[in-house]
Amino acid sequence: MPISMDKHFTWGQLLRFTLPSIVMFIFTSLYGIVDGLCVSNFAGKTAFAAVNLIMPPIMILSTVGFMFGTGGSALVAKTRGEGDDARANRYFSLIVYAAFALGIVLGVVGIAVMEPIARLLGANDEMLGLCVVYGRIIMISLPFYVLQYVFQSFCVTAGKPTFGLIVIVVAGCANMALDVLFVGVFQWGVEGAALATNVSEVLGGGIPLIYFFRKNKSFLRLGRTSFMPRALGKTCVNGLSEMMTSIAMSIVSMLYNFQLMHAAGENGVAAYGVIAYVVMIFAAIFMGYDMGSAPLMSYQYGAKNHVEMRSLLKKSLIYTAVGGLLMFIAGQLLAVPIVGVFVGYDEELRTFTEHGFRIYAIAFLLMGFSMYGSSFFTALNNGVVSAIISFLRTLVFETSSVIVLPLVLGIDGIWISVSVAEVAALVVTAAFMFGLGPRYGYWYPKGAKPRLIT
């Protein structure tokens, strides 16, 4: 049975509700890491650097899935909170169909521009062919990758977060098994890694597509709909922040690679690739919690249950603070074994990467707050504020830091730049959350009486 959202969530219930999304994001990151491990250990350092160099543009093209998923989920959950399930299903169907169609278009575009993009990113002659082959094969399954992101959000909104987790586990296990087979056993190199990813993405997007087309036990079902430009516009504006976050992260990754390519050559790009893979796991914990809790906030906002909104916010901020502290400690304690798994075969690269990772890990203390703040305002259907937080955090603060700080601190300035950016983003997030509280009802001035949950 789907999990009802119209109730008070205790600390334990909230964690249990969001846990499938957290595990789902972690697992997604893990099977991405297996790609890197197989390429690095079986295809070599150059292939590993090539994959990491071309990965950010690939992720940029897939970000529409985040936009449709998070923005659409907030709209659908709010509509359900208002008591109109039929309209919510029409919105759901329209958003899924639109996302898949756009994924096809972007896949074709990606195949066409992959080579000039690789050249623009600075791929040398040895890396260029590897970048292009890997990127073009990945584009084949891009429409399903977009759907995978869409359904990661909507499985929670449908009250079936565990189903979403099962889908990702199936897709991830297929990816990891085929990585070992194609790259490790058959020695197909980057082509094998890309083909393994193709299969996992078709499963990750295709299984929930079939599930929601059939009669099911969730709150949502795909069916007939109509073209509703206003609903699509709301979805895109509301989900713009998550799309902006993903695009900005990819742009910043390209900038990191550019800076490190010039400062440390192939070793610099490989080191950042290792750090980026590990950071994906830590960030996945925040992203999974944010995605899992957002529909609850959207539902309560639609139902005008202000007490529960405040309760959810308080619990979420405490979870974020504790999680950030634990991640920072884990990052410092596990730096040596984690880095050794990826590049233990190269002593110079291993030492260089360990040093960078320890500095980068400082950001774990703060990064969860601005990520939650952006997700929080998306849940409240305020895509503008959510996008502002995301835009400033990455495209302004982090980009500026990674350009300026290396001029003063050298390569260490590249590693510390993300922490400096997170401090600035925290200030902006806190200002918006405090200033807009009375407008949305998650806190009131003294003497005001919020509506009680019935």
Pure H helices in 121-228: 125-139, 142-157, 161-179, 189-213
Helix (H) or strand (E) holding 424: helix 411-435
| Residue tagged 């709909």 (tokens) | 225
pLDDT for position 306? 86
pLDDT for position 136? 96
Q: Is the pTM of this model over 0.85?
A: no
pLDDT for position 148? 93
Going by the DSSP 8-state scheme, the letter that residue 7 receives in this structure is: S
pLDDT for position 415? 85
Residue 101: how many other CB atoms lie within 10 Å = 12
pLDDT for position 264? 67
Measure the CA–CA gap between 148 and 142, rounded to whole angstroms: 10
pLDDT for position 113? 95
pLDDT for position 448? 56
Alpha carbon distances (Å) from 418 to 69, 137, 354, 365, 370: 26, 32, 16, 11, 12
List of the chain residues with pLDDT < 70: 1-3, 32, 241-242, 261, 263-266, 269, 343-346, 444-454
pLDDT for position 445? 62
232-269 confidence digits (pLDDT tens): 998 888 777 667 777 777 777 777 777 776 766 667 76
At CB < 8 A and 24+ separation, what contacts does 440-449 make?
440/301, 440/309, 440/380, 441/301, 441/304, 441/306, 441/309, 442/306, 442/309, 442/310, 442/313, 443/310, 444/306
pLDDT for position 263? 65
